[in-house]
Amino acid sequence: MLFGDKGGRRLFAVPVLVWLVACAPVPPEKRSSRGTSEFRFVDVAAEAGLTRVLWAGRPDKDHLLDSAGTGAGWLDYDRDGWLDVYLVNGWRLSGDEVLERGRNALYRNLGDGTFEDVTDRAGVDGGGLWGSGVAVADYDDDGWPDLLVTNFGPTRLYRNLGDGTFEDVAREVGIEAPDWNTGAAFFDADGDGDLDLYVAAYIEATIEQVLSTTPTLDWKGVDKVAFGPFGLTGASDRFFLRLDDGTFREATDEVGMRDRARGFGFGVRAADFDLDGDLDLYVANDSDANYLYRNDGDGTFTDTGLWSGAAFDVNGAAQAGMGVALGDVNRDLLPDLFVTNFAEDFSTLYVGEGDGFFRDASDGSGVGAATFVPLSWGTVMADLDNDGDHDIVIANGHIYPQVDRHPQFGMTYAQRNQLLENGGNGHFTEAGDRAGPGFEPALSSRGIAAADYDNDGDLDLLITALDEPPTLLRNDSVGGGWLTVEPRVPAGGGGVVGTRVVVTVGERRMSGDVSSGGSFLSVHDPRVHFGLGSAGRVDRVEVLWPDGSTSVETDVPGNRFLVVEKSP
């Protein structure tokens, strides 16, 4: 079912403004002559000016907060057509001493491959809090993207004032909720045209406990490592309903999202998983059943995780969910989920079966074997080589530096990130070792966010790692054609979060959506990117707006940005 018609919503074509932004033609050297992918990623973070070190507690990672890491996000905060970078930072500790309260960073994309640090001018340094994640959305529908930053402590909501500066309005609008907050997503939960908010939380802890802790958990009988999360109390996730006066009200219980399992929440992704026309929500929980909150169409939700196939692995076991990605690995237009997990356990590919049901296809898809050893976090399902299918990228890194003292277990603290190439049929093979120098280094990586920052038609990767500056992997792969669709809604029109785009290229149909948060504590490009393979044109582009209306364009040339603006 492509178009939903639940709850009396009617689909209708709406007037739209459409324009094509022609980019420089894809240079011949970026086109594959063999029809096969030639991945190449190069880390250009330092030369681009992304140098902020992202601190993560103590060297030995005595507490789980030391090793959870932070997220990264893409947003065009100044609306100049170039995506800017936001990085969330932690603290640097020595024992119980705070050596440095890391500052978050906003880097403005100058459009020439470099970035300018505008953090101070913009007023978004995080205020000295130990940061976790970031979500991006125009929460107040004024046409400017805003920044939500989760922390070990009160959440910040940086409202974009449209003049290059932001103001923190979290307290004013009622979403501070001091806790160890992690993944977050804005989405229109009740279909009233404004954005509501879900914020996941990890464990209950105080900063005094964090500072005074020492490793006490026995690891394989050979070492002591950070304790938890078992034995610690999970912190409750929260749902905030946007009110007409612009503030939010916590409505977790009343909408059916009470965190009864006190799950150790990390990755959050809102999307229309059952394609019934409203937005559902998925929460990856560490060591607990994952939640799949189905939107029942009346502003309430039912957790269908246990019986939809999306809560556990194929054996019915809870895994240590960290990050989550949405995509369509087999091009059947049904949303698929990829959830990253702990070391010595596979990350899980949940293939959509329709109507919100999923099956664990990790084993047969090649994903299971490829992901069993590393400890995995941020993730992206996207077409990295523009060949017309979704590949998977995974940020890896252990939480225990102590593993390096025991090589007999075959694990390392620093790990290489992974690129799993889709063979076009939903079967994946490791491609990281032929993906250029960008995939060679081993770090303890965490967040990952994909975006076409240089507007050259392919997706680049921004990755955070513990106690390191970020990595920016410029995509220099040789691949096929592309089309990037940028849905736009004028201020006051409800925004674009949740917009779904479906393109038809010959017999192939592909879909993508606009989200405000996902991966591990991170945010991807707000535009919807499609690889076209050898096709030079797209037969049909359908934009399914959050209000249920649809815009259709036909015979669209490729290698372009297609802006589709919904009329008020």
Partner 1 sequence: MKRVLLTGLCVLVMMSGAVDAGMDATATPRPLVDTYDSLADTILAAKKTEWNLVHSILGGTYSHAEGVLAQAVSKIEAGQDASAEVERVAALVAQLGNEGDASVAAVRKRLLEGGHHHNAAGEEQGIYDDGFVIVTRASKKALLDVSKRIAKLGKSATVDSLNAEWDKVKKEFGKMHAGTPMGH
Pinpoint the alpha helices (H) of 94-235: 119-122, 170-173, 207-212
Q: In the set 42, 53, 306, 333, which binds partner 1 (CB under 8 A)?
A: 306
Rounded to a whole number of angstroms, the minimum distance from the CB of residue 316 to partner 1 is: 4
Member of 12, 27, 29, 315 binding partner 1 (CB under 8 A): 315
Which residue in the block uniquely carries the two structure tokens 């299918």? Answer: 389
The answer to whether 142 touches 489, Cβ cutoff 8 Å, is no
Residue whose CB is less far from partner 1, 231 or 407 = 231
Pick from 137, 257, 289, 535: which binds partner 1 (CB under 8 A)?
289
CA distances from 378 to 262, 392, 450, 517, 548 (A): 22, 11, 10, 12, 31
| Sole binder of partner 1 in the list 344, 355, 433, 440 (CB under 8 A) | 355
Task: Assess 372 for contact with partner 1 (CB under 8 A).
Answer: no
Binding mask 83-122 for partner 1 (x = CB under 8 A): ----------------------------------------
Residue 317 in contact with partner 1, rule: CB under 8 A: yes
Nearest to 547 by CA among 499, 490, 478: 499
Judged by beta carbon, residue 59 or residue 354, the one nearer partner 1 is 354
Nearest approach in angstroms of CB 69 to partner 1 is 23
Cα separation, 50 vs 118, in Å, equals 12
User: x/- site string to partner 1, residues 254 to 273, per CB under 8 A?
Assistant: -----xxxxx----------
Compute φ and ψ for 171, nearest 5 degrees: -65, -45
| Interaction between residue 364 and partner 1 (CB under 8 A) | no
Q: How far is the CB of 428 from partner 1 (least distance, A)?
A: 24
Residue type at position 255 = V
Binding residues for partner 1, how many (CB under 8 A)? 24
Decide: is 199 part of the binding site for partner 1 (CB under 8 A).
no
Q: Which residues contact 265 (CB under 8 A, 6 or more apart)?
A: 182, 183, 200, 201, 202, 234, 235, 237, 259, 283, 284, 285, 286
- Stretch binding partner 1 (CB under 8 A), from 12-20, 168-176, 229-237, 369-377: 229-237
The residue from 109, 304, 365, 418 that contacts partner 1 (CB under 8 A) is: 304
Cβ distance 310 to 289 under 8 Å?
no
Site for partner 1 contains 318 (CB under 8 A): yes
Q: Does 287 bind partner 1 (CB under 8 A)?
A: yes
Nearest to 64 by CA among 190, 214, 193, 166: 214
Cβ proximity to partner 1: between 8 and 231 the closer is 231
Of the residues 179, 288, 468, 553, which one makes contact with partner 1 according to CB under 8 A: 288
Judged by CB under 8 A, the stretch of 86-94, 228-236, 452-460, 509-517 that binds partner 1 is 228-236
Angle at 410 between CA 405 and CA 411, to 5 degrees: 65
Let me know: does 501 contact 543? Beta carbons within 8 Å: yes
The interface region with partner 1, picked from 57-65, 239-247, 281-289, 415-423 by CB under 8 A, is 281-289
Bridging pattern class, strands 16-22 and 560-566:
antiparallel
SS3 state of residue 265:
strand
Per CB under 8 A, 300 contacts partner 1:
no
Q: Residue with structure tokens 């980019």?
A: 23
- Residues making contact with partner 1 (CB under 8 A): 230-231, 234, 259-263, 287-289, 303-304, 306-309, 312, 315-318, 355, 357
